[in-house]
Amino acid sequence: MQLKTYQENTVDELLGKAKKLLKYSGEKKLVFKSPTGSGKTIMMAEFLKRLADDRDVRESLSFIWTAPRQLHIQSSNKLERYFEDSRALRCSFFEDLDDRRIGENEVLFFNWESINKKDNVYIRDNEQDFNLTSVIERTKEEGREIILIIDEAHHHATSDISQRLIKDIGPNLTIEVSATPVIQNPDEIITVHLEDVKVEGMIKKAVILNDQFENLLKEGKIKSQLSGSSEELVIDAALKKRDKILKAYKKEKTDINPLILIQLPDRIGSLEDRMKEKVISILKDKYNISTEKGNNKLAIWLSGEHINKEDVERSDSDVEVLIFKQAIALGWDCPRAQILVLFRQWHSPIFSIQTVGRIMRMPEPDNGHYSTEILNYGYVYTNIDDIEIKEDIARNYITTFTSKRKTDYTPVDLPSCYSKRHRGKTRLTPLFIELFLMETGKYKLKKSIDLKSKKLDLKIISDWKAENIDVLIGKHVIGDKAITASSEDLQKLFDYFVRRYLSPFYPEDRSVGRVKESIYGFFEQELNMDYGDRGDEIIQIALSDKNIQHFINVIDITKQIYQKETVKKEAELSVIENWNVPESMLFGSDDLQEDRKKSIMVPFYIKGRWRTEKAFVELLENPSNSVKWWFKNGDRDATFFAVPYGNGEQKPFYVDFIIKLKDGRIGLFDSKAGFTQKLAGAKIDGLFNYIRSENKRGKNLFGGIVTNTDQRNYKGRWVYFNKTSKELKDNDFSNWKSLEV
């Protein structure tokens, strides 16, 4: 798996702060706060791998990973897969431990509840002296430091028993991993921000509450059109949305079968049974969705009842609906789940990020968000009467209001742009291999190396001692006993060589692999030496004393060219030939509705606004002017309108307003106050060039930077600057044009 940019940055931060804390005496605490769906486990796996490999860490380390319910098994499986190639760490359960202690770079996985009982077999004394206390004692006696990882700590780490257990373990470093941490007064905190996770396409852009139904906010609670409706109506709305999502996936040419989750209340008793039977009956009788053989469109995951659940996580599973309970679903990943259904009897009317966590993930995170917007959102349908949004990241993630484009809108078809996402700045892409092979030709590497030179001078230090430790100062002790390298030794040497010369790129496995592939590719193309048959020989030739500097030179030259190429690519923009005002926009419970007659989006919601923007809207709303409609633009991705600007490196400039006049002209305006040429220059030129270019192609555009000559009370003249930045004079409106609409 290739890490996202924010994941790379977070792993770097984890490594740096953990190394810092391990240098101090005493038991240190680090909190790792990361949203649901951000890949916490993968980030921790890469962090542990780098920590185990880090040459600055002199201490021998052992790890304990604790998690609630069955999450420790899931985490163990993920880490085992992650370490499958590198074998950097060993994953074990209690019964797997050798010699009744945790080995170096070994991770012991525990189910927290199982060891959190006084009479537990792993806690109490026994004849074999095989309990947690003795295991930890033996581990520490061998000189290893213990790092304790508490996963999803808010579920289990706050009780008195838990605190005593942490004290008994006595870790040198405790790391709490959670979206909602509970450890008090940590020594360090590392936070992954929700917006970074969204931008990288790991999770959906937002979760929409009761889409297509009107929601009203009153006294902090949301009342929906679906409030108080029948369960059948809620299920019907969810299934109709599923059909639309399925068609959109087919349009994207992917075989993902979207899943509806129907969550039953956690209460035990006849109410739950009656609700389950009612839902099963509605699905079967009205929609032909059942657990029966030949149908298999319904799965059930309840305590003691597992039907059709085996392959439900598979992206193309036949299961369309899963009935489950929240208690069972902790830590469960099913990225194709996109719709969540909750009924009135649900245990809480308060929505938090935990509620919607199961439908946040994108099903193909490597591809990010889709071009079809319906696929980039999760959907909740519920008939709960009064819904509250908890004061956590859910407040900014759950959208409750929808603003729609007016039906009399006619397309404007404006060329627009947005930034491409690139990851080449911190890691190597396949482009490196292509460039390396080109450079080997220019460098004449084939003629420069000696194929007969295969000797690696490998020696170990043996039988060496110094009577006085002071003699070691400034000395370099040289190995004196020659050894024969095995294939495994050669691979480690090759990895070490590549990692050493990768800077400034981080030596993660994918980047190391690119360099190795480049060298293998050279031997195959130029010398007809296949790595599969002659891998050891290739490494010996490349790393021999006569040849190694030539390979270092070509790697260095290629890195420089690669960096220049990736900077070019970062500057590239994706172009949309015919941009139009979006059909709908989503807003959260903190956004305010305003009565605006000429807004093309109805109702009109605001997220907070500068005074200049507010005053400008008042101008546009004047009933006596010639404004047909106006659109308050956003500032992200392909959804909103942008023009290219920049000196050399191109960036998107998202203007504040797009205006349509009754005479057909379209105005592009960016409201500014207190601007200077230095701050606005490149954007002014970008907008000027865009308008001039498009008008030559037959458009009827005008606009520029817009402001009021009275920048305190906005009672003056509205003017806009439609020239190049060279003609802009700081806070002087003498060459500005009056805006007459």
Domain CATH number, residue 192? 3.40.50.300
Q: Would you state the pLDDT for residue 52?
A: 87
Q: What percent of the chain has pLDDT over 70?
A: 82
User: Do residues 634 and 694 lie in contact, with contact meaning Cβ atoms separated by under 8 Å?
Assistant: no
Reading the block at residue 39, the tokens are 């890949």
In this structure, are 555 and 684 located in the same domain? no
Beta-bridge mates of residue 629: 660
When pLDDT is averaged across residues 438-448 and rounded to a whole number, the result is: 93
Round to whole Å and give the CA distance between 626 and 741. Answer: 5
Higher pLDDT, 178 or 411: 411
On the question of pLDDT at 483 being above 80, the answer is no
Nearest CA to 38 out of 406, 333, 428, 413 is that of 333
When pLDDT is averaged across residues 89-116 and rounded to a whole number, the result is: 82
In this structure, are 33 and 123 located in the same domain? yes
Q: What number of residues does the chain have?
A: 741
Beta-bridge mates of residue 340: 261, 380
In this structure, are 395 and 247 located in the same domain? yes
On the question of pLDDT at 347 being above 60, the answer is no
In this structure, are 382 and 435 located in the same domain? no
Nearest CA to 175 out of 97, 96, 64, 314 is that of 64
- Domain of residue 276 covers 203-399
When pLDDT is averaged across residues 415-425 and rounded to a whole number, the result is: 73
In this structure, are 353 and 222 located in the same domain? yes
Q: Would you state the pLDDT for residue 11?
A: 92
Q: Where are the beta strands (DSSP E) in 565-656?
A: 573-579, 584-587, 592-594, 601-602, 604-606, 627-632, 643-645, 651-653
Q: Would you state the pLDDT for residue 357?
A: 80
> In CATH, what number is assigned to the domain containing residue 275?
3.40.50
Nearest CA to 34 out of 19, 18, 13 is that of 13
In this structure, are 590 and 564 located in the same domain? no
Round to whole Å and give the CA distance between 532 and 199. Answer: 40
Round to whole Å and give the CA distance between 727 and 735. Answer: 8
Domain boundary among 198, 224, 247: 198
Of 39-43, 315-319, 354-358, 443-447, the one with minimum mean pLDDT is 354-358
Reading the block at residue 269, the tokens are 């008793």
When pLDDT is averaged across residues 381-390 and rounded to a whole number, the result is: 77
Confidence of residue 453 (pLDDT cuts 50, 70, 90): confident
Tell whether 129 is covered by a domain: yes
On the question of pLDDT at 473 being above 50, the answer is no
Beta-bridge mates of residue 203: 361
Confidence of residue 477 (pLDDT cuts 50, 70, 90): very low
| The amino acid at 261 | L
- Per-residue pLDDT tens over the stretch 524-572: 999 999 887 888 899 999 999 899 999 999 999 999 898 888 766 655 6
On the question of pLDDT at 493 being above 90, the answer is no
Ramachandran area for residue 100 (φ above 0: left; ψ -120 to 50: alpha; else beta): left
**Those residues with Cβ within 8 angstroms of residue 325's Cβ, 6 or more apart along the chain or in another chain:** 263, 264, 265, 266, 301, 302, 303
In this structure, are 213 and 317 located in the same domain? yes
Beta-bridge mates of residue 224: 215
Q: Would you state the pLDDT for residue 346?
A: 55
Strands 90-92, 60-67: pairing kind: unpaired
Print the SS3 string covering 112-180: HHHHCCCCCCCCCCCCCCCCHHHHHHHHHHCCEEEEEEEECHHHCCCCHHHHHHHHHHCCCEEEEEECC
Higher pLDDT, 542 or 156: 542
**Those residues with Cβ within 8 angstroms of residue 199's Cβ, 6 or more apart along the chain or in another chain:** 421
Round to whole Å and give the CA distance between 146 and 18. Answer: 12
In this structure, are 308 and 191 located in the same domain? no
Per residue in 649-685, is it b (16+ CB within 10 Å) or e — as a string? ebbbbbbbbbbbbeeebbbbbbbbeebeeeebbebbb
Q: Would you state the pLDDT for residue 217?
A: 66
Domain boundary among 178, 198, 218: 198
In this structure, are 232 and 107 located in the same domain? no
Round to whole Å and give the CA distance between 689 and 681. Answer: 12
Q: Would you state the pLDDT for residue 469?
A: 42
User: Do residues 174 and 29 lie in contact, with contact meaning Cβ atoms separated by under 8 Å?
Assistant: yes
When pLDDT is averaged across residues 90-114 and rounded to a whole number, the result is: 84
Q: What is the mean pLDDT of the chain?
A: 83
N-term to C-term CA, the chain: 55
| The amino acid at 578 | N
Domain boundary among 150, 168, 198: 198
When pLDDT is averaged across residues 510-524 and rounded to a whole number, the result is: 89
Q: Would you state the pLDDT for residue 157?
A: 54
Domain count, the chain: 4
Tell whether 426 is covered by a domain: no
Q: Is 346 helix (H, G, I), strand (E, B) or coil?
A: coil
Q: Would you state the pLDDT for residue 665?
A: 96
Tell whether 498 is covered by a domain: yes
Of 102-111, 218-227, 372-381, 732-741, the one with minimum mean pLDDT is 218-227
In this structure, are 438 and 509 located in the same domain? yes
When pLDDT is averaged across residues 256-282 and rounded to a whole number, the result is: 83
**Those residues with Cβ within 8 angstroms of residue 384's Cβ, 6 or more apart along the chain or in another chain:** 227, 342, 343, 344, 346, 349
Q: Would you state the pLDDT for residue 385?
A: 76
When pLDDT is averaged across residues 3-27 and rounded to a whole number, the result is: 91
Q: Is 683 helix (H, G, I), strand (E, B) or coil?
A: helix
Is the bond into 603 cis (omega within 30 degrees of 0)? yes
CB atoms within 10 A of CB 84: 8
Tell whether 685 is covered by a domain: yes
Higher pLDDT, 593 or 620: 620
**Those residues with Cβ within 8 angstroms of residue 208's Cβ, 6 or more apart along the chain or in another chain:** 377, 378, 379, 380, 398, 399, 402, 586
In this structure, are 647 and 730 located in the same domain? yes
Of 261-265, 383-387, 585-589, 661-665, the one with minimum mean pLDDT is 383-387
Tell whether 665 is covered by a domain: yes
Q: Would you state the pLDDT for residue 162?
A: 64
* H-run or E-run covering 354: helix 353-356
In this structure, are 597 and 659 located in the same domain? yes
Q: Determine the distance from the C-alpha atom of residue 87 to the mean position of all C-alpha atoms in its chain, rounded to a whole number.
A: 25
Confidence of residue 1 (pLDDT cuts 50, 70, 90): low
Q: Would you state the pLDDT for residue 449?
A: 92
Of 59-63, 108-112, 469-473, 538-542, the one with minimum mean pLDDT is 469-473
Tell whether 642 is covered by a domain: yes
CB atoms within 10 A of CB 473: 6
**Those residues with Cβ within 8 angstroms of residue 232's Cβ, 6 or more apart along the chain or in another chain:** 282, 286
- Alpha-carbon distance values, 18 to 13, 22, 365 (Å): 8, 6, 28
Tell whether 107 is covered by a domain: yes
Q: Would you state the pLDDT for residue 651?
A: 87
Confidence of residue 482 (pLDDT cuts 50, 70, 90): very low
Confidence of residue 96 (pLDDT cuts 50, 70, 90): confident
Q: Would you state the pLDDT for residue 692?
A: 96
Across 357-361, 468-472, 628-632, 676-680, which has the greatest mean pLDDT?
A: 628-632
When pLDDT is averaged across residues 338-359 and rounded to a whole number, the result is: 74
DSSP letters of 364-399? -TTT-S-SSGGGGEEEEEE--SSBEE-SSTHHHHEE
Tell whether 86 is covered by a domain: yes
Round to whole Å and give the CA distance between 10 and 43. Answer: 7
